[in-house]
Every structure is written in structure tokens, then in C-alpha cells.
Amino acid sequence: CERALTLAKDDDERRELLGRIGDLRLSTGDPEGGRQAFTQAMGMWTAIEGRLLSDQSEEFDEELGRYTKLVQRIGEAQMHAGEYADALANFQKAYALADASRMPELMALSLCRQGAVHAFADNLPSAKQAYESAVALCSTTDDLDHPHVVALVGLSSIDRRMGLLESALSRCDEALPRAEKIDNPMQLAGLWGQRGTLFQNLGKTDQAISAYEKSRSLREDCGDRRGLAITMMNLGRILVNVGDVQRGQEELERALELFRETGDLQGRVLTLGNLGSLRFHRGDHSSAREILIEYLELSRGHSLKRPEADALISLGMLELERHQIDKASEYLDQGLEGFRQVGDLQGTLHAQVQEARAAGRRDQPDVALELATEAGEKAREAKGIPILVESLRIQSEALRNLGQLDQALERIDEALESCQDQRLPYVEGCCWRTLGKVQRDRGFEWADRAGIAFEKAELIFESNGARHALAVTRREFASFLLMVEEPELAMEQLQSALSIFDELDCPEEKQLTEEIRQKIEN
């Protein structure tokens, strides 16, 4: 195309070639070069814009349509670079041009792009309004299946962020037959990716992985590098959650590379957050902190409100593990407020559960119980299984600290039952550990059950490389072994925990463990 551009004889050819060059540069990892080509093409189109708008012939309508598509592509490049105001202005201009050229498909797609940029900027009401306008336009005729699918997927995404998971899935179900009729691989890939995210939020892990893998295959077949990065990021995150840590890390690192190549700022930022979460769950807190701070700084620097809130919650969780409760609460309070401001119910519930954990660590079990119960009820209504399970576990811990052991046992039994077939090993391991603590506190007659629960938690954490969680479990197990008068076995557990905490550079955890060991020695 670049060679053809040097040989082009007229402006019409040059405009078309510059647009193609822009697309190719974007898709091959040269976002800046792509935007330069688009800018050159835009300048040539702007010179004849007045003539195109005043001429009513079909020939000029066709040219105006090509101009409209270029304006949309420029808007998309700006949107993915985080330039939301400029992107919105171009999408609004594209709508006006499409209306002037009597092209309803381009009008609908322009509305969808307006919805997307509003969603990127966390303006969910405006995003929903734009997508609904696109659906209304598409419903007036039978030949607008492509933008109709785009709009339904967009509304599904908004519903998901508002916590309306079943409504979101029903919109995807409505869109799927239309997408299959069009047989557009890129569109089908996006739809399957959205279904994967919804299945994951609903706790249907196997279906989520299957949907993501189908999306990935379609992305690879059509050479959609940015879309492939999105799917790899989502697939990597869920693989980490189900314990396939090595493969999950590979997917996330490749996604980060692709986002950098395609100039997708938000994708790069979100993948950093997922990599930070991976390091956190593996117990590598020092590395996790470095990544999460970069995640937070990039989010703030580019006004990405939802990622900023997520980064704050992740840092709060990290500080909880370091027993820095005041610092953790500061992060968690800011993150909770951030999720509330952008209307993200799933994020809000996740933040509330973490605040409940912080209250428990602050020796306020009554506050922890209230917060976790409220979040659990809302998660149950929204069918958000992972959040429900964690809220039940925190309720159990709070009830245990309040001495209400029968109720604590009921909550943790429900949490473990909800975990069945979910493939959430880290969450399940934490639940088994909590069950061990509850049974331990119930007295000597429940010793066998407590021991079995601790051993199951240890096995899960060890097999999934969750070393920090494993060391914490061994310390709790040691306190149980002391209760049943097995000091030698308790010492073995403590020595193992100390070794892990030392390797992971966790001085606070190491000190707590040392204190228990010294009591045995004395």
C-alpha cells in the first residue's frame, strides 16, 4: 500500500490508500504510524467535506460513507489511546455524516461507538442510552444485524457492570443467532468473549473457559491482534483462578505484549492488574506491590476510574496480608468509593467483602459480620457466586470470633457447598482453612474434622503454588496441633511456615509465627 501511495495519480486513490495504511499499521503494532496515516487521510477528506455534504447524488453518498468510516476509525484509535473526549467528538461527527449520507448501518455503528467510549470513561448511563438508541434504530429494519449485535453486546457489558448478570447473559443469547447468521468471525469472537466473562461472574468456570477458548480461536483465525489480547487477558485471569498458574501467566504476559504493540492503553493497564493479582495469590507480595503500584499510577495518570478502584482494592488486600490494617483500610475506602462512583456493582461488592475482612483484622467481628452479610445478600441476588462464597467465609470468621460457632459452621458449610464444581482452588482452600479453625474452636471432640480440614487446605494451596496462603495455613494448623498435645508436629508446621515467610520476605507474618514457636520452646 505504501508503494502504491507513491504511485497514486489522484486524491481519491491517495485518501483510500492512506486509510488502508492506517488500518494496517494499527493491526501490525504501529499505533502512532497508523494515526499519522489517518490524520493525512482526514486532511484530504476535510478539504472536500463541504462539497460532499451539499451533493445529493448516489456517487457522493458512497464517498461520504467512506469518509464516515475513516472518522470512526480515527475515533477508535483515540478511544484505545485513552483520548475519550476527542474520540466521542469523532463518533458524533461520524453519526452526523452517516445521517447525511442516508446510511443507517453507519449511523447505528456510530451510536455503538459512542456507547463504547462512554463505557471506557465509566459513564454508564450515557453508554446505555447510546446503545439503546442503536438497538431502536436497528429494530426498524431486518438488514442491520451487524450493528444490532454490537449494540446488544454493549448493553450486555453495561448490565454486567451494574450487577445484572442474568440480564447481561440474556442479551448475549439474543445476539448469538444474529451473529451466527452474519458469520463475522471478529464479531462472534467478541460475543463469545463476553459470554466467557459472564459465565465467570456467575461461577460457571468450565463454560467460561470454553467460551474464552472459542473466542481466542476466532481471533487468531481473523488476525484480530487487539481482540486476541483481550481474550488472552481474560483467559489468563481465569486460568490463574482455577490453579493453572503457569499457563495463565503465559497468557497474561502475551496479552500485555499485544496491548503494547496495538497501542491499547486500557488493555495494558488491566493486564498489569491481573499480573499483580497473580503474584499476590502466589505469595510474591514484593513483586505484586511493584506491579500494583504501576497499575495504580497508570490508571490515575490516564483517568481510568474503574481500573484505579481495582488497583486500590488490590493494594488494600496486600496490606491486609502484611497486617497493616490502617493502610489497608485507606486503600479499601478509596477503592470502594471509586467503584460506587462508576456504578460497578461487582466491584463494589468485592470491595465491601474486603472491608469486612479489614474489620475482622481490626477485632471488630460485629462490623465484619454486618458488612459481609450485606455484600453476600446482594451477591446472591446477582448470582455472583465467587463473591458470595467469600462473603460467607468472612461471615463464618466473624461468627467464630463472636463465639457463635454453630452459626459459623453453617456459613462455612454453605460456602464450601457453593464452591463445588466451581474450580476456584484459592477460594476453596481458604474455606477449608476457615472450617478447620471453626472445628478447632468447637473443642477436642471435633479434632479429627479440624485436622482433615487443615490438611485439605494445605493440599490445595501447595498444589496451586499459593505459598503465602500455605504458610498461613500451616501456622493455624500448628495452633490446632498444640491444642491436641502434638508439640513436635506443631513445630514441624511452624518451621515450614517460617521458611516460606522468610523466602517471601514477609517480616510481619514471620514475627507472628516466631512468637508461637517461642511459646512452645518455653
What whole-number percentage of the chain has pLDDT above 70?
A: 89
pLDDT, tens digit, for every residue of 488-498? Answer: 999 999 999 99
Asked if the structure places residue 469 within a domain, the reply is yes
Q: At what angle do helices 58-80 and 31-46 cross, to 10 degrees?
A: 150
Whether the predicted pLDDT of 55 surpasses 70 = no
Q: Name the residue with higher pLDDT: 21 or 127.
A: 127
- Asked if 454 and 433 touch (Cβ cutoff 8 Å), the reply is yes
Confidence at residue 52, expressed as pLDDT on a 0 to 100 scale = 54
Number of alpha carbons in the 13 Å side-chain half-sphere of residue 294: 15
Range(s) of the domain holding residue 466: 423-522
Among the residue ranges 101-105, 319-323, 437-441, the one predicted with the least confidence is 101-105
Instruction: Collect all residues with Cβ–Cβ distance below 8 Å to 168 and sequence separation of at least 6.
Output: 156, 157, 159, 160, 194, 198
CATH (domain of 484): 1.25.40.10
Asked if the structure places residue 447 within a domain, the reply is yes
Between CA 443 and CA 305 the distance in angstroms is 48
Residue 95 sits at φ, ψ, to 5 deg, of -65, -45
Q: Which residues of 398-415 are buried (b: 16+ CB within 10 A; e: fewer)?
A: bbbbeebbebbbbbbebb
- Asked if 454 and 476 touch (Cβ cutoff 8 Å), the reply is yes
Q: Which amino acid belongs to residue 328?
A: A
Confidence at residue 411, expressed as pLDDT on a 0 to 100 scale = 97
pLDDT, tens digit, for every residue of 103-129? Answer: 899 999 999 999 999 998 889 999 999
Output the average pLDDT for the chain: 88
Asked if the structure places residue 302 within a domain, the reply is no
Burial of residue 507 (CB within 10 Å: 0-12, 13-18, 19+) is: exposed
Among the residue ranges 2-11, 318-327, 352-361, the one predicted with the least confidence is 2-11
Asked if the structure places residue 497 within a domain, the reply is yes
Using only the alpha carbons of the chain, give its radius of gyration: 27
Q: Which amino acid belongs to residue 36?
A: Q
pLDDT, tens digit, for every residue of 236-287? Answer: 989 887 878 888 899 999 999 999 888 888 889 999 999 998 888 888 888 9
Place of cell 457453593: 418
User: Which of the four pLDDT bands, split at 50, 70 and 90, describes residue 8?
Assistant: low
Asked if the structure places residue 410 within a domain, the reply is no
Q: Work out how many domains the chain is built from and give that number.
A: 1
Whether the predicted pLDDT of 57 surpasses 60 = no
Q: Cell numbers at residue 253, please? A: 504476559
Whether the predicted pLDDT of 151 surpasses 90 = yes
Asked if the structure places residue 383 within a domain, the reply is no
Asked if the structure places residue 288 within a domain, the reply is no
pLDDT, tens digit, for every residue of 399-419? Answer: 999 999 999 999 999 999 998
Its pTM surpasses 0.85: no
Asked if the structure places residue 470 within a domain, the reply is yes
